[in-house]
């Protein structure tokens, strides 16, 4: 739908925006403004809904109409949903369901420091890369398998409720595709920054000999097909230790579902917190990007949510739908904003969401 543009105008990329609950609509609204400022009419947004408020109104947390809308889009920017901690009849987390239905098998979570996170780590490791202020910089990406592992949903009771069993599923097919994805991402990141790629394969094959053994063996096989990448392996427990001790030494990290979840949350704490980290759920031909944070009901409606995580997620989305230049532009703007722009309260400042967005727009 080119809305009367001239013949020379490219067909816009159609993306869905799903605010969800709590601060979701606030941060998605902010990110859409930044994207539009950078991309102009190259994006056509369509609105879709899911989450707790949708469930209360319609009885479905993920309406069929939303899935249909998404199927007609190249990708989506999603805020967050509020999921109650107690069981509610008929309610299931719509984001978990969407990852499954759209087969969004790769969860990508970049960990990039701003100056402030880096300053805490100053002097930790000689010879590490530096950010603009000459301080240690973190630039890693966790690629988490998003469809199986311990989150396969195979739990059951035994001995009349005295024992709970969870089955952990690792398949060669899912491991092959996640590791291939991680290798391709490592190469494109390396090409962008002009230095060699490294990939760390995370597992616990010394204990889980069959399941993590299969993950390890398959991962090393696939990675061997990418001779330009320096590949190493690391047991998950010491990986958490090393990531916290020397995060600047990591580049690509690939891990089964739960390990990747834990590593990326630990990593978020190293680079400025939940308010700044974006993520992308990627499938073969669809990408759903979202901030790592939830709906933050404690600050919803107060106009103080940090928009950085949602804007970072939007950059990941643009990259995946073929707007790499625009994504790069947003990253530059974000880097400057994080260094010298007004800070929202979660980053120790007193700026509002609106002031943060105004600063981002000014830098575009």
Name the site residues for ligand NAI (rule: CB under 6 A): 23, 27, 80-83, 95, 274-275, 290, 293-299, 305-306, 309, 344, 346
Q: Is 171 left (phi over 0), alpha (psi -120 to 50) or beta?
A: beta
Which C-beta is closer to Mg ion: that of 109 or that of 329?
109
Which residue, 135 or 293, is less far from ligand NAI as judged by CB? 293
Q: How far is the CB of 157 from Mg ion (least distance, A)?
A: 26
Residues 323 and 335: beta-carbon distance below 8 Å: no
Is the CB of 99 or the CB of 203 nearer to ligand NAI?
99
DSSP assignment string, 295-335: --TTTTTTT----HHHHHHHHHHHHHTT-HHHHHHHHHHHH
Span interacting with Mg ion, options 85-93, 128-136, 190-198, 264-272, rule CB under 5 A: 264-272
Residue 153 binds: one of Mg ion, ligand NAI, none (C-beta under 5 to 8 A by kind): none
User: Rule CB under 5 A: is residue 326 a binding residue for Mg ion?
Assistant: no
Nearer to ligand NAI, 150 or 219 (CB): 150
Would you give the binding string for Mg ion spanning residues 282-321, x where CB under 5 A is met?
----------------------------------------
The distance of closest approach from Cβ of residue 183 to Mg ion in the complex, given in angstroms and rounded to an integer, is 24
DSSP state of 11: P
Q: Judging by beta carbons within 10 Å of its beta carbon (0-12, 13-18, 19+), is residue 89 exposed, middle or buried?
A: exposed
Q: Are strands 155-158 and 163-166 parallel, antiparallel or unpaired?
A: antiparallel
Return the one option of Mg ion, ligand NAI, none that residue 261 interacts with (CB less than 5 to 8 A, by type): Mg ion
Is 108 or 190 the residue whose CB approaches ligand NAI more closely?
Answer: 108
Structure tokens at 26: 């606030």
- Minimum CB distance to Mg ion smaller for 293 or for 329: 293
Q: Which does 28 bind (CB under 5 to 8 A by kind): ligand NAI, Mg ion, none?
A: none
Q: Which residue has the tokens 């880097």?
A: 335
The dihedrals phi and psi of 93, each to the nearest 5 degrees, come to -60, 120
The least CB distance from residue 149 to ligand NAI, in Å, is 18
The residue from 145, 212, 251, 261 that contacts Mg ion (CB under 5 A) is 261
* Cα gap 47→33, rounded to integer Å: 14
Orientation angle between helical segments 24-39 and 353-363, nearest 10 degrees:
10
Residue with tokens 């989450």: 51
Binding residues for Mg ion, rule: CB under 5 A, are: 261, 265
């Amino acid at each position: 739908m080119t809305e009367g543009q001239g013949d020379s105008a490219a067909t816009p990329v159609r993306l869905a925006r799903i605010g969800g609950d709590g601060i979701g609509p606030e941060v998605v609204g902010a990110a859409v403004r930044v994207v539009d400022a950078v991309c102009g009419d190259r994006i056509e947004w369509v609105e879709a809904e899911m989450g707790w408020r949708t469930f209360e109104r319609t009885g479905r947390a993920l309406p069929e109409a939303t899935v249909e809308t998404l199927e007609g889009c190249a990708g989506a920017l999603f805020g967050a949903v509020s999921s109650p901690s107690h069981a509610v009849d008929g309610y299931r987390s719509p984001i978990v369901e969407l990852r499954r239905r759209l087969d969004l098998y790769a969860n990508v979570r970049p960990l990039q420091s701003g100056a402030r996170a880096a300053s805490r780590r100053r002097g930790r490791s000689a010879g590490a890369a530096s950010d603009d202020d000459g301080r240690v910089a973190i630039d890693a990406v966790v690629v988490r398998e998003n469809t199986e592992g311990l989150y396969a949903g195979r739990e059951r009771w035994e001995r009349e409720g005295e024992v709970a069993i969870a089955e952990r599923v690792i398949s060669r097919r899912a491991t092959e595709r996640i590791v291939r994805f991680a290798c391709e991402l490592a190469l494109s990141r390396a090409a962008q920054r002009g230095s060699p790629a490294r990939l760390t394969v995370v597992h616990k094959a010394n204990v889980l000999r069959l399941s993590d053994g299969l993950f390890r063996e398959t991962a090393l096989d696939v990675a061997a097909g990418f001779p330009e990448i320096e590949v190493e392996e690391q047991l998950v427990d010491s990986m958490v230790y090393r990531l916290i001790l020397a995060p600047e030494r990591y580049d690509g990290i690939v891990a089964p579902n739960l390990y990747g979840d834990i590593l990326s949350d630990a990593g978020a704490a190293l680079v400025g917190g939940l308010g700044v980290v974006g993520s992308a759920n990627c499938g073969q031909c669809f990408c759903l990007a979202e901030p790592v944070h939830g709906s933050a009901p404690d600050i919803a409606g107060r106009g103080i949510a940090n928009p950085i995580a949602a804007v970072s997620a939007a950059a990941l989305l643009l990259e995946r739908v073929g707007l790499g230049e625009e994504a790069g532009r947003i990253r530059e703007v974000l880097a400057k904003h994080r260094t010298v722009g007004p800070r929202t309260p979660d980053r120790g400042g007193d700026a509002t969401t609106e002031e943060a967005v105004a600063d981002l727009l000014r830098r575009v």
